[in-house]
Amino acid sequence: MQKKPKILFVDDSSEICFFMRNLLAEHNFEILTANDGISALKLLPLLADHQCILMTDYEMPKMNGKELLMRLQETPHPFACYFLLSGLDQFDELIVSLLEEKLDRPIFFYQKPYLIQEIVNKLKTVT
């Protein structure tokens, strides 16, 4: 039996984490949440034997989304792909800067406010 795909959702807003956890659970995903990149890295051992997706906000305290992605390049991790969510006005510049980094996994970008159904549809295609 195949395990449910797990999503690590990282956002400094507890309300957004709660909303996304409930919404994505309705679509048969298991969700772990973290409020910053440092907390997300501490959860990696819990994801070891799963097909996983990382969904992260860009602007967060302690470690932003880009810094989290760069740290993941230095360590083995279970993520099949990354979703970067941001409300930055310079969203295009953020995309270019991350594409220049040549990440080890595919990355999908969504600018806030994003359409939830669009994200759910993409999640279903990558799991």
Helix, coil or strand: residue 52: strand
State the total domains in the chain.
Answer: 1
Quick check: is 115 in a domain? yes
Q: Which residues have C-beta within 8 Å of that of residue 51, sequence separation ≥ 6?
A: 3, 5, 6, 78, 80, 127
pLDDT for 84 beyond 90:
yes
pLDDT digits (tens, 9 = 90+) for 92-127: 887 888 888 888 899 999 988 888 899 999 999 997
Domain hosting 24: range is 6-126
Q: What is the CATH number of the domain that holds 74?
A: 3.40.50.2300
Quick check: is 70 in a domain? yes
Residues β-bridged to residue 33: 9
**pTM attached to this predicted model:** 0.90
Q: Residue 9: its pLDDT value, please?
A: 97
pLDDT over 90 percentage in the chain:
59
